[in-house]
Amino acid sequence: MGSLAETQITPAKVSDEEANLFAMQLAGATVLPMVLTSALELDLLEIISKNVALPGGQLSPTEISSHLSTENPDAPVMVDRILRLLAAYSILTCSVRKLPDSVVERLYGLGPVCKYLVKSEDGVSLAALCHLNRDRVFMESWYHLKDAVLEGGIPFNKAFGMGAFEYQGSDPRFNKVFNNGMSNHTTIVMTKILETYKGFEGLSSLVDVGGGIGVTLRMIVSKHPHIKGILYDLPHVIEEAVSYPGIEHIGGDMFVNVPKADGIFMKWICHDWSDQHCLQFLKNCYDALPDNGNVIVAESILPVLPDSSLMTKEVVHMDCLMLAHNPGGKERTEKEFEALAKGSGFQGFQVVCRAYGTHIMEFLKKI
C-alpha cells in the first residue's frame, strides 16, 4: 500500500501576496477564454499568420486592425488590449519599438500554441472547439450547475428542457457549430493516431459508431483503402455527412443496435454517457462483432490523483464539460474503462498508444 504522501496532493508553499493574486486571477477567470474567443472571431491570429514577412515575425495593432472590416477609429487600441492579454499568457509573443516623440508601440507575433489555433494545411484548428465551448448554448449550462448539484438533474437539460443531443437536432446553427468543433479536433488527433496505431491494418470492415459527419472514418479509409467503412450516427447527424468512396452511411441508434463489422471505432463516445448507458451500447457492439473482433476506443484517461500537469488539466476540464452538458457523461480512469469492457462481455482490455491527450484502448471480444 502506498504511503500517504503518494496518495495526496501537497499544495506548493506560496506567499500571502501570491495567494491573493491567484485568487484575483480566479475571480477574473472568464476574461481569458472570452477575450481569446473574440480574437479568434476577429481572425486576429490568422491575420498575424498570413501577414508577417518571416516566421516568428510581429505586427503592430494598427497593422493588424487594417485587415479588419471596420471604420472604428478605436479598433487599434482595442486590438492592442486584447493582444496584450494573450501575450501575458504566452499565446502571443510581444516586443516594443520606439516611435517619434518617445511613443512606445507594441508588436505581436504567434506563440508556439498558435500552431493549433491557426488553420493548418488541412484547414483545421482547435479554434473551432473554442467556438463550440463558448457558444451561447453550451455557456447556458453553467448557470444551472449549482442547481443540478442541489436538486439533481443535468445542467443542460435544466437550461433547455431537453438533452444536448436532442437539442442539436432542433437547432441547425448549433448543430453546425458542434460538428465543426468535433471534426476539427478529430482531424488533428486522428492525424497523430494514424502515425502510430497499427490496429486498423488487419480489418476488412469498420463501423465508426457515433462517427459524426465522417471525418474520422474518411481519414482511416484513406490510409487503409482495403477497409469497408460504415458511418453510424443519429439520422440528423448522418444527413450532414458527405459521401466518400468506400464508406456506407447508416442512420440509427446505438442503444438499439450496431451494424456488424470486423471492428468498431468510437471516439469521444463513452465520455458522453453514464456507466449504465455505456454498458448498454457496448453490449450491442459486442453482439455486432465476430469472435476475433474488437472495439477501438479513443478517449482521455483520468488520473486517480489529480496533479497540475497540462494533460491532467485538459482531462479534468473535459470531465466538467461532461458534467455540465451530458447525461451522466464523465471522463474515466484506466480501471474504469477496463470495468466497462469486462462488464459488457469483452474478455480483453489494453491501452495501446496515445496521441496528445487521447488514448487508444482496445476492448477484445475474445482472448
Catalytic residues, by residue number, are 271
Contact status, residue 231 vs residue 250, Cβ threshold 8 Å: yes
Q: Which three cell numbers stand for residue 9?
A: 496532493
Contact status, residue 244 vs residue 221, Cβ threshold 8 Å: yes
- Residue 40 identity (one-letter amino acid): L
Return d(Cα 27, Cα 236) in angstroms, integer.
40
Give strand pairing partners of 294: 263, 364
Contact status, residue 106 vs residue 60, Cβ threshold 8 Å: yes
Phi/psi of residue 353, each to 5°? -160, 180
* E strand residue ranges, 216-293: 228-233, 247-251, 263-267
> What is the separation of C-alpha 333 from the centre of its chain, rounded to a whole number of angstroms?
18
| Residues 6+ away with beta carbon under 8 Å from 349 | 337, 338, 341, 342, 361, 362, 363, 364
Give strand pairing partners of 207: 230, 264
* Pairing status of strand 92-99 against strand 103-110: antiparallel
Q: Which three cell numbers stand for residue 66?
A: 487594417
Contact status, residue 106 vs residue 96, Cβ threshold 8 Å: yes
* Pairing status of strand 294-299 against strand 358-364: antiparallel
Length of the chain: 367
Return d(Cα 288, Cα 46) in angstroms, integer.
45
